[in-house]
Amino acid sequence: MRLLAYALLSGMAAVGAGGIAAAQTTGGPPKTPAAPATPAIPAPQTPVPETPAPDTPAPETLAPATPGNLLTFADPGEVLNIAKGYGAANLEKNEQGDPLISGRLDGVKYSVLFYSCESGANCRSIQVSTGYTDPFSAEKANAWNRDYRWVKAYEVDGASSFRMDVDFQGGITRESLDAQFETWNSFIPTIRDFVAGKS
């Protein structure tokens, strides 16, 4: 009986104040579970600077026209230099002392006349012209002017006269003046064929 009572008392002593039996285990107190490993937070990455793209050259553009690169007068020397880029050309003077250029393109003679000059200088416009002594009528001139621009045709005393005017009022660039001569040069074969009745 004493052994049974001792056993009962020992079991009751194991009951806590809240009436819940405290589990007893052998081998010491329960181990505290290890805290879950904190996931490693990646260190902020320093952005790698982008390698700049190699400089791409800007498309070539013409310099804007400024008062410094405009021809406000038909300078004979400038006109002559451009004319020589297309064929033989010589600078002369007419009876009034104004500049005159005589040239040849593809075997065709032509002239550059200077207008609105002041004592042979400061001319404000030029006219590039050529003509043939072959018979030419006003009707044929009209037919040309109906079909072509830039260069105009005239009947003068039964012969032909083809003219192109270039105005320097307000100034033009050398590139523009060169383009005018390019236009004139491109018309030379057409003029020749038209007068000969081939076109």
175 located within any domain: yes
Sole residue written with tokens 């032509």:
110
17 located within any domain: no
37 located within any domain: no
15 located within any domain: no
What is the reported pTM? 0.66
pLDDT in tens, 22-52: 334 444 433 434 444 444 444 445 544 454 4
Nearest one of 156, 158, 144, 146 to 192, comparing CA atoms: 144
The pLDDT of residue 149 is above 80? yes
Q: What is the mean pLDDT of the chain?
A: 78
- pLDDT bin (cut points 50, 70, 90) of residue 12 is very low
76 located within any domain: yes
Q: Is 101 exposed, middle or buried (0-12, 13-18, 19+ CB in 10 A)?
A: buried
53 located within any domain: no
Domains held by the chain: number: 1
45 located within any domain: no
The pLDDT of residue 68 is above 70? no
Confidence (pLDDT) at 50 = 53
The secondary structure of 126-183 as a DSSP string is EEEEE---S---HHHHHHHHHH--SSEEEEETTEEEEEEEEE-TT-EEHHHHHHHHHH
The pLDDT of residue 158 is above 90? yes
- pLDDT bin (cut points 50, 70, 90) of residue 131 is very high
Other C-beta atoms closer than 10 Å to the C-beta of 60 total 5
Domain span at residue 121 reads 69-195
- pLDDT bin (cut points 50, 70, 90) of residue 146 is very high
40 located within any domain: no
Confidence (pLDDT) at 66 = 52
Residues 96, 165, 198, 140: is their CA dihedral positive or negative? Answer: negative
Interacting residues of 47 by C-beta distance below 8 A, sequence separation 6+:
none
pLDDT in tens, 115-130: 999 988 999 999 999 9
Give the three-state DSSP class for 118. strand
Q: What is the CATH number of the domain that holds 91?
A: 3.30.1460.10
